[in-house]
Structure 1
Amino acid sequence: MIYIYNDYGGTHTTSLAAAYHLKQLPQSERKLTTEEILNVKFFNKLTKEDFGKLIFHGVDEEGNSVYSIGRKRNKYVVPALKEMSLLLQEKHQFDEKIVFSNTSPTVPFAMSMGGFFSRGLKIDVIGVPLLVKGAKRCCDNVFRLVENTKEIGKTTFSENVIILENEMYK
C-alpha cells in the first residue's frame, strides 16, 4: 500500500502526518513540544520548487510507503494522480492500493499565517513561532487523521485508489 498525505504546501501538516504515520512522533493525542515539531523531517523545509513533487518519507512497520505532496490551490492534482494510478494499475497489472489523505482540514489559522511568513515571505522570525503554535494546536487532529487514514487503508478492499478529504477534522 502507498499512503500520500496532501495539502496546500506539503511541508507542515503533511510532514507531521507522515511522522505520526511512521511512528517518529509519540503515538498519542498529547501536545507536541517545540523541539519535536521542529525536528520533524521536511517540516517547514520544502520550497516552491517542491510543489507537485511526491516527497518520500519512509516505509511504515507494515511495509507501506509514505509520501506527501504539496498541491497548492489546484483541486485537480489529486484526482489526476488517481486517474494516473488507475491507468497504471489497468495497463501494467499494478495492484498496489493507494490512499490519498488530505491534511488541509487540520490546518489552523496560525499555521497558515506562519507558512505565509516563513515560506512565502522568508521571514522566519515571525513565521516559525506561528507554525509551532499552529502545530501544537492541531497535532491531536493530525494524529487522529493518520489513525483514521491507516484504518481505512486496511479495511477498504473494494477500491484500489482512495481519496480521503477528511472534512470532519475542521
Structure 2
Amino acid sequence: MIYIYNDYGGTHTTALAAAYHLKQLPQSERKLTSEEILNVKYFNRLTRKDFGKLIFHGNDEDGNAVYTIGRKRNKLVVPALKELTLLLQSKFHFNEKIVFSNTSPTVPIVMSFGGFFSRGLKIDFIGVPLLVKGAKQCCDNIYKLVENTKQVAKTSHYEDVIVLENEKYK
C-alpha cells in the first residue's frame, strides 16, 4: 500500500501527517512542543521547485510507503494521479493500493499566514512562529486524520485507489 498525504504546499500539515504516520511523533492527541514540530523532516523546508513532486518520507511498520505532495491550488492533481494509477494498474497489472489523504481541512488560518510569510515572502522571523503556533493548534486533528486514513485503508477491500478529501476539522 502507498499513502500520499496532500495539501497546498506539501511542507506543513503533510509533513506532520507523514511523521505521525511513521511514528516519528508521539502517538496521541497531545499538543506538540515547538522543538518536536521544528524537528519534523521537511517541515517548512520545501520550496516552489518541490510543488508537484512526490516526496518519500519512509515506510511504516507494515512496510507501506508514505509520501507527500504539494499540489498548490490545482484540484486536478489528485484526480490525475488517481487516473494514472488506474491506468498503470490496468495495463501493467500493478496491484498496489494507493491512498490519497487531503490534510488541508486541518490547516488553521494562523498556519496559512505563517506559510505565506515563511515560504512565500521568505520572512522566517514572522512566519516560523506563526507556523509553530498553527501546528500546535492543529496537531491533534492531524493525528486523528492520520488514524482515520489508516483505518479506511485497512478496511476498504474493494477499491484500489482511495481518495480521502476529509472533513473540516475543528
Q: Same fold (TM over 0.5)?
A: yes
* Mapping for residues 1-170 of structure 1, pairs under 5 Å: 1-169=1-169
Post-superposition offset of 1:48:
0.3
Identity %: 80
1:85-128, Cα deviation, whole Å (9 max, x unpaired): 00000000001000000000000001000000000000000000
How many residue pairs get aligned? The number is 170
1:38-66, Cα deviation, whole Å (9 max, x unpaired): 00000000000000000000000000000
The CA RMSD measured in Å over matched residues stands at 0.6
Which letter does structure 2 place at the counterpart of 1:22? L
2:102 and 2:166 in contact (8 A); partners too: yes
Post-superposition offset of 1:147:
0.1
Moved over 2 A (4+): none
2:114 and 2:131 in contact (8 A); partners too: yes
Query: Within 1, Cα distance between the matches of 2:79 and 2:110?
Result: 28
Post-superposition offset of 1:167:
1.4
2:101 and 2:149 in contact (8 A); partners too: yes
Gaps of 5+ in 2: none
TM-score by length of 1: 0.99
Post-superposition offset of 1:82:
0.1
Query: Within 1, Cα distance between the matches of 2:93 and 2:169?
Result: 35
2:106 and 2:168 in contact (8 A); partners too: no
Which letter does structure 2 place at the counterpart of 1:118? S
